Structure 1
Amino acid sequence: MTRNSSSATGSDWTGMVPVEDTALAVTDTGGPGIPVVYLNGQFATQGYWKKVIADLGPGYRHITYDERARGKSQRSADYSFEAAVRDVDAVLAARGVDRPLLVGWSYGALVGAYWTSRNPDRARGAVMVDGAFPYDWLDEAMEQRIRTLFTRLGWFLPLLRPTGLAPRMSAGQQAESNIEVGRISRERELGPVLDSITVPARYVIASGTSFGSRGDEQERIRAGLDAVLTRNPNIRISAKVDSNHGAILRKDFRAIARAVREIEAVRDPDGSPTR
């Protein structure tokens, strides 16, 4: 089902976008404004962005979507990180979007960083919200910890699926997705990705703990960004806020919206809007 018709000059559109063996639930406000594509947390849904979207207002074209087996999107045989990056391209193509500004939270920040690095001529900029920190936090003990956690949650997760609070993925699939995040976040993997970003990029960083981690551990992970900031002048910290990882979209949506506006305001040396 779709609602209305949307293009660069049209109105709201909500529908399913076929991609590979699945279909993604997508919402596009349309209009002539800068297209902002929002990339969700690992098991989150597009509804998490409503406060950021409201703060930015109708002057932007807001595009949200649920990743595979999340929210209203359909299941798939492929829940890999590379599939998530490919899905950005699928949504952009389906909605006819050129030069988006990507805003990603947590897992979505990683997706945004990788896509922006690989598409320097297509990306307007990127905002990474408390994610995409190059740090070697994954070892064999942590892998086992993750698998044990999701095995214990396995009986409970199906009860949450009807509410939209859990993806339609098995506990094992969710565990492997978490482990993959650890692998691609290692400094030797993610560091070069961030170093190669040539468009304006901003970080909005949370404080304190996130689920399953200690506060000092989380702050060490965030500090992994420091070396990147010295190497790549295109990347800056827009704000470090008081909210923790889970509450940042709800409590510090204004800081995220400000980071989007910062990128919009960047100018090339000749005074024209960047890129």
Structure 2
Amino acid sequence: MTKHNANDGGQWSGMVPVDDTALAVTDTGGAGIPVLYLNGQFATQGYWRRTIAELGTGWRHITFDERARGKKSGLSADYSFEAAVRDVDAVLEARGVDKALVVGWSYGAVVAAHWAKRNPDRALGAVLVDGAFPYDWMDEAMEARIRTLFRRVALMAPLLRPTGLLPRMNAEEMAVSNIELGRLSLESELGPVLDAITVPTRYVVASGTSFGSRGDEQERIRTSLDEVTARNPRIKVSAKVASNHGAILKKDAAAIARAVRDADATRRAEQKRQDPADA
């Protein structure tokens, strides 16, 4: 049997040190397949509670708040995308987990795609929730629009930060993070990452707009998946749901749970064909 983790005790919550900060982590424990959830860019681990409830206790659920997100994770001098990918390894190592199925929403979907591509022997599968679309949406005009947007968002900081709904980052840090995401999402950047993924990967795709988008911008971005799935048979669209980008975790947790089960079932079937004794 394949050993997925070395620490399958009971539920645990605490702080995991990494680089110059510490991350608030929750681990349900247990002997089930470890599922690591990767949040939206400025979201928190609480957003996953409905998906976790849909999947139930047969899985080991690990959630965490990224740097300066939520109420407890610490500030940092580094909010880069590479830091976000490093944090995946830091959390898994701290919880004694070697292999995991990663589930990411929005920004977290891009993190999940990169981690799965870089760790083909550790990724048990990936579920990408309305994110990781390779599309050239970032240009100078968009950068200016993003900086203006986050200057406005920062005006709400005194009200939202105590609730954990807004990161403890300033307007420039939030804008830079979002602009970096746009650059990483260019077809020339993200396309090769997705093409190189070798583990079962499923998309759950929303409809309509996302925060800051206009008109049909988001729907046009989503059309890039047609070429992704045509090039890489390991990647499939599990569901296209009616919810918009911001509501998908709340309203379509069942669809996300189905995608997790499908990715894992595909992995198990493939493993059984390759080595029945190790399935």
TM-score, with length taken from structure 2: 0.94
Cα deviation per residue 1:139-168 (whole Å; 9 max; x = unaligned)?
Answer: 000000001111223222232100111000
1:53 is paired with a residue whose SS is helix
Q: Contact between 1:158 and 1:166, CA under 8 Å: does it hold in 2?
A: no
- What is the one-letter code of the residue matched to 1:133? F
1:54 is paired with a residue whose SS is helix
Q: Does 2:55 correspond to 1:56?
A: yes
Aligned-pair distance for 1:271?
Answer: 7.5
- What is the one-letter code of the residue matched to 2:107? Y
Cα deviation per residue 1:6-65 (whole Å; 9 max; x = unaligned)?
Answer: 974311000000000000000000010000000000000000000000110010000000
Report what 2:96 is aligned to.
96
2:133 is paired with a residue whose SS is coil
Q: Paired residues, what number?
A: 270
CA RMSD of aligned residues (A): 1.6
Q: Contact between 1:7 and 1:30, CA under 8 Å: does it hold in 2?
A: no
Q: Does 2:202 correspond to 1:202?
A: yes
1:75 is paired with a residue whose SS is coil
Report what 1:81 is aligned to.
81
Q: Distance in 2 between matches of 1:35 and 1:154?
A: 36
TM-score, with length taken from structure 1: 0.95
1:124 is paired with a residue whose SS is strand
Report what 1:24 is aligned to.
23
Structure 1 residue runs without a partner (length 5+): 1-5
Q: Distance in 2 between matches of 1:34 and 1:14?
A: 18
1:183 is paired with a residue whose SS is helix
Q: Does 2:164 correspond to 1:143?
A: no
Q: Contact between 2:149 and 2:212, CA under 8 Å: does it hold in 1?
A: no
Cα deviation per residue 1:213-262 (whole Å; 9 max; x = unaligned)?
Answer: 12411111011121111110000000000000000000000000000000
Report what 1:3 is aligned to.
none
134-143 or 219-228, which deviates more: 219-228
Report what 2:253 is aligned to.
253
Task: Give identity over the alignment, percent.
Answer: 72
Q: How does 1:102-121 map to 2 (within 5 A)?
A: 102-121=102-121
- What is the one-letter code of the residue matched to 1:115? W
Q: Contact between 1:7 and 1:31, CA under 8 Å: does it hold in 2?
A: no
Change (3 A) 1:274 1:132: farther
- What is the one-letter code of the residue matched to 1:99? K
Change (3 A) 1:55 1:146: same
Q: Contact between 2:67 and 2:75, CA under 8 Å: does it hold in 1?
A: yes
Report what 1:181 is aligned to.
181
Q: Distance in 2 between matches of 1:146 and 1:182?
A: 10
Report what 1:221 is aligned to.
221
Q: Contact between 1:265 and 1:273, CA under 8 Å: does it hold in 2?
A: no
Structure 2 residue runs without a partner (length 5+): none
Give 4+ residue runs of structure 1 displaced > 3 Å after superposition: 6-9, 269-275
Aligned-pair distance for 1:211?
Answer: 1.3
Q: Contact between 1:16 and 1:24, CA under 8 Å: does it hold in 2?
A: yes
Q: Distance in 1 between matches of 2:88 and 2:62?
A: 11
- What is the one-letter code of the residue matched to 2:131? G
- What is the one-letter code of the residue matched to 2:264? E
Change (3 A) 1:274 1:64: farther
Q: Distance in 2 between matches of 1:179 and 1:159?
A: 25
- What is the one-letter code of the residue matched to 2:50? K
Report what 1:69 is aligned to.
68
2:24 is paired with a residue whose SS is strand
